[in-house]
Amino acid sequence: MNSLTPFPGRGGASDVVAFHRTELNVILSLYGRMVAAGEWRDYGISSLRDVAVFSVFRRTAENPLYRIEKRPKLRSRQGEYAVIGMDGQVLKRGHDLRTVLRVLERKLIRPVD
């Protein structure tokens, strides 16, 4: 009477793409610096079947400013990491996460008054 029935159409946890701990350390390091600079305020993480997404928000109720995506299927082609802007434009794509995130680090550089 208390038997468990698996949810239909859903595979195991191996079907989900997620960020590794070292990748999250790099992303959260940049996120912390941008929060300290007052640029970003919130984030969200999604782990889906084909893609893992780290979304960055200026305010909680808005659309994301940037999406950092990991698509392992593009590893051998364009690179598995991408930074996508608010309008859906790909700002940078590549194989190395640190070099892809440099496009966002330029936002930290400001002239001193």
What is the edge-to-edge ordering of all strands in the sheet holding 66-70? Answer: 42-47, 52-57, 66-70, 81-84, 90-94
Against a cut of 0.85, is the pTM above it? Answer: no
Nearest Cα to 18, choosing from 57, 66, 69, 84? 69
Q: Which residues pair with 67 in a beta bridge?
A: 55, 84
pLDDT of 39? 85
Q: What is the pLDDT of residues 19-70, one digit of tens each?
A: 899 999 999 999 998 888 888 889 999 998 999 999 999 876 678 889 999 9
Note whether 101 and 24 are within 8 A (CB): no
Tell me the two tokens of residue 76. Answer: 């051998």
